[in-house]
Structure 1
Amino acid sequence: MIAPLVVLHAQAPAAPDRQAELGAMAIGALTTASPAIANRRLTEGYLTQPNLMGAITAWRGRVGALRATGTLNFEGYTLERGELNAGMYGEGYIDRRHPHTLVHETMLTAATPSTSWWQASLSGGKGFTPYGTDDPMMRMFVKYPVNHHHAQIIERVQVLGAVRIGTTRSLVIEHGRFNGDEPLGPFTGPRWSRFGDSHTTRLTVFPANHLEVQASHAFVESPGLVQGGAFDHVQSSASLRYGGDSPHMLFLEAARTDEALEGRAVFRFNSVLAEGRTGWRGWSLAARAERTERPEGSRLLDLFRTQTGHFDVQIVGVTRWHVGTVQLAAPAFARKATRLAPFLEMGVAHAKARTNPAVFVPRDFYGAATQWSFTVGARLHAGTMRTRMGRYGVLDPALGRLRSPTHSH
């Protein structure tokens, strides 16, 4: 399940019966954060979220359809140092969002016909596992929530099956097996010998028009070390989304990650998040509130980097982040299939140790317990944009009966 998506005026949404789709997106952004680290204000510019997305329905007949979906992400070239993002962590970056891998997804799906009260599909490749919610890249805000690694498990080589039961009111169950290891960098591949060591199951229910509820559970073997031997992750997610074609939406999400050793939970990290949006005459106003706990590791000489791999000797504390974000977006400037939408985004983050006394004290490390950030920029979309990211088979509007709202931003 992902956050609600609504119409961006003058954008070409993906059509369910289109045989081929191609689109590109990128965000030019200037961010100032105070204090970003060690009582210092930092101001940086980025080309963030540069993606080339495509899909093709290679075959469609009486017995079903065959569809390929792919996304190339170029953040390894434009975002090597990471993007200032208070509270964010993962893959060796901390307080910066890490670049995603060049091959963000490449999936091949076979599905039965969508005309009956049930439908089944089988998908394989690299992409988003059937766990939690979709990539925040496809939601309203430019800055990612802190819970990115609690609420999504992405960029894994996987095989997943899905079954839909029902039509207007329906439910979908998905199950997938994948490699547990996280990417070491934007240009590295998975450890193929670990394929299938992790698994996840997700149930999505559509009880009424524009209402979507999901619950999922995952076991991820040693994501911190490719060779294995680090803590396993046991993850749970639940979310509710309301909002269709109107400019108003609501999204609620809860997630939990247990870092476990030999089946026993050693560390637990909780997250709750709420997002809402309203729009008027092309303008949109969105707000997000989040409370997420993250592990604290020893910093390297670059204070925005940590050692990868989660050993007990590396976790020096747990920090609870309260983050509020507000975004105002102006009507898009449109020319044919190209759209440019200016925005202003403001965030305030407050961090404190979950338990005291603590080795890592946020106020001492950052220079203040509260951090402010302001981001101004513009979102560029060209061609056909994806309505949902990481939804394959029966959940793909091009293959199934389920229809997603038109893409937002």
Structure 2
Amino acid sequence: MPDPRPLDGVRVVDLSKILAGPYATMSLADLGADVVKVEHPDGGDPTRAWGPPFQGGDATYYLAANRGKRSVTLDLKSEAGQEAAHRLIAGADVVVENFRPGSSLHRVFRYDELSRRYPRLVVLHISAFGETGPLKDEPGYDMIAQATAGLMSLTGEPDGPPVKAGYPMGDLGAALFGVIGVLSALLERTRTGRGQYLTTSLYESQLALHINWATGMFATGEVPGRLGSRHPNLVPYQAYPTSDGHLVVAVGNDGLWQRLCTVLGRPDLAGDPRYVTNRDRVRNRAALDAQLAGAFAGADTAHWHARLRAAGVPAAPIRDLAEVYADPHTDALDMVRTVPHPVAGALRQVGFPVSYGGDRPALGAAPPTLGEHSREILAELGYTEPEIRALTARPVDDVSTNST
């Protein structure tokens, strides 16, 4: 089967920077879209400098979210840069931007004006807090969203401080919901012939991902708090210390509970009326946790993992990333591939996590160096060489206007 490229022929102009917008546009590039990343001539996307570590001159943070794109440098605060951007947009299907609300560029690239000139255009605007409400004009980064939208109140041990999630869930949540919005808008355009304005935010995406935490609070009025690795609705469903590390055990039903008790050699727990059903176990969580922690501490992780697997009880050791990427299962899924980078050489990248008929989309080109495709893209737009030099020259001043 040929390389799946479902968005082949779709042109995306990426006016965003940092993570949420770039991750969304990289996902579209992975699916075959031609993504043109517009960057300021003076330094480009700020994440190019978000290191160490660096590889090939750019921070690995930038390299994680920008493969498959072409980079053109334009000063969007100049009339000439704005004119070039409009030439790009005129031939585009999608524009993704995260201009700070109220900024000069947010006003210059207003959707009502873009829609009037390009009625088929789909525009995705990603912000920190959304289009309305008291916080709508606030700038924000991922950790601000995690704090403001409640994620940090749910992350960490009950007796410890609030903790930021390891992944930037505010940025990544907004990126993925944004991709869903873009794809649905492109599908609707096939019926209506018109594009539309899409908005999402780090804050909104976090609310959408609260799922059972939110509905539980709505139902009971009780404000949830930090549970460490524990599950609010299932027991046992957490990490337990063993004699040499930790083991995650996920008991999702009462049958698995009975099997776990057999493996642990604790039939008394299986028959204890405090623990017979999941409802009972949730109500008596603290007492049961103490019993299970004592049992698991009696042997090492490998011992318990092997016995639980043999009994069909879901369990796993907690692995670091070196172990994950050395695992034969990761290799079998073909998730890690190598692309040639003009400066860094062979660059390892984690691929798109959806397969089409068993085939995963091939990785596009390596993340571009700053302005790597400026002449190519501007020439495609009809600019002469002197005009290209003038357009890509570094301006004297710059004030950042993006927010996420």
Band the TM-score falls in, shorter-chain normalisation: under 0.3
TM-score, with length taken from structure 1 = 0.24
Question: What is the TM-score when the length of structure 2 is the normalising length?
Answer: 0.25
Whose helix fraction is larger, Structure 1's or Structure 2's? 2
Indicate the structure with greater strand content.
Answer: 1
| Larger Rg, first or second structure (1 or 2) | 2
